[in-house]
Structure 1
Amino acid sequence: MVELNTDSFMTSLKNELVGTWKLLSYIEVPIGGEDSLFPMGKTPFGVLMYSPDGFMSVQISKEERLLYQSNDKMMATQEEMVSSLQGYIAFCGKYKVDNNNAIVNYIIKSSLYPNWKNQVQRRKIDFEGDILYLKSTEPILSNGAYVNSYMTWKRIDRSIDDFFEDNILDEYSVK
């Protein structure tokens, strides 16, 4: 009989998470059976990072958000602030992997949504090649309804070209 070394399995699951991931989709499914929702639109942009030392950060933005009329980030109209806040999810903190249940626990230290600070968020983990599926383990309240969130991520290659458009760095090059 072969004994499974759970410590090495946990390490390998964490090792699978470590790196940078690009968001492919974000869907919320109401627990009442209503149609699926796309709170950040159908083509959101997002980056999820897991460091080897147990820290994580996630940033997700809606495809279309109002640009501020002012070039001062602290001088926004009410409408611009609402668009900015409702069109962005961001938090960071520590993460721990629950090996037995394939769950990642986020211990949130900073969040755009202040109610999540010092809270724990849990996501069920599943992999398919370089694709990562994360699902909320408990329903969350979103826009007045309890939903389960489903996010699909693709591992970003270490090449900068996978992250930036080809010519964007050229615009900011020092000549």
Structure 2
Amino acid sequence: MKNLEEQLIGTTWSLKSFESIDQNDHIYYPLGEDAKGFIIFDHTGLFSVQLMAKEALSKNAVAHYRTDVDKAMGMHEYHAYSGHFSLDEEKAVMTTSVELSLIPTYRGSKQKRSVNIEGDLLYLSNIEHPERKLVRQKKI
């Protein structure tokens, strides 16, 4: 069986779902239920993420979002960031070192994600914000 690095390097994954849970424990979709996006992992250890709302989001909808990052994504109806990534194979954790980001507070940050790959699906969950979950499907 391939390790995480072998399964990620040189791949592109399209967004299948992006959900979060608000302060009242209700599921919401920071960029709408039909959001679009990609994550790309290259051979040099760089990654790039692009996420966008398919339709305009109402300003009232983003008011209940849990985090400032979710609120900023909702206000822009878009999120993009990139940088270098590393993997802890034993813990199945990816750390991204964000160098470029549409949201200024992301710049220079390190983001930790639990990683699970099942078939052609990539499950990423933010370790600091486990309520935020993304599922991506491998592009062939």
Q: Which TM-score applies when normalising by structure 2?
A: 0.81
Per the alignment, residue 156 of structure 1 pairs with 139
After superposition, the Cα gap between the structure-2 partners of 1:52 and 1:112, relative to the gap in structure 1 and judged at 3 Å, is same
Pick from 73, 90, 96 the counterpart of residue 80 of structure 2. 90
Alpha carbons 1:65, 1:84 under 8 Å: kept:
no
Q: Tell me, in whole angstroms, the C-alpha distance in 2 between the residues paired with 1:17 and 1:125.
A: 10
Higher relative contact order (CA 8 A, sep 6+): 2
Runs of 4+ in structure 1 deviating by more than 6 angstroms, as ranges, are none
> What residue in structure 1 maps to residue 121 of structure 2?
131
Paired AA for residue 42 in structure 1: E
Unaligned runs of 5+ in 1: 1-8, 67-81, 140-146, 158-175
Structure 2 residues not aligned, in runs of 5+: 58-71
Once the two structures are superposed, the pairs formed by residues 94-109 of structure 1 within 5 Å of their partners are: 94-109=84-99
Point out the structure with the larger strand share. Answer: 2
User: Aligned match of 1:122 in 104, 112, 121?
Assistant: 112
Counterpart for residue 6 of structure 1: none
Residue 8 (structure 2) aligned to one of 4, 17, 22: 17
Match of 1:43 among 26, 34, 58: 34
TM-fit CA distance, 1:148: 2.1
Amino-acid identity (%): 26
Q: Tell me, what secondary structure is at the counterpart of 1:148?
A: coil
- Give the greater-gyration-radius structure (CA): 1
- Does the 8 A contact of 1:65 with 1:83 survive in 2? no
Alignment of 1:1-16 (within 5 A): 12-16=3-7
Q: TM-score, normalised by structure 1?
A: 0.66
Secondary structure of the equivalent of 2:7?
A: helix
- Aligned residue for 2:44? 53
- Once residues 83 and 24 of structure 1 are traced to their aligned partners in structure 2, the CA distance between those partners, rounded to angstroms, is 17
**Deviation (angstroms), 1:132:** 0.4
CA contact (8 A) 2:3 2:89 kept: no
* CA–CA distance in structure 1, aligned partners of residues 73 and 110 of structure 2: 26
- Shift in Å, 1:65: 3.4
RMSD: 2.2
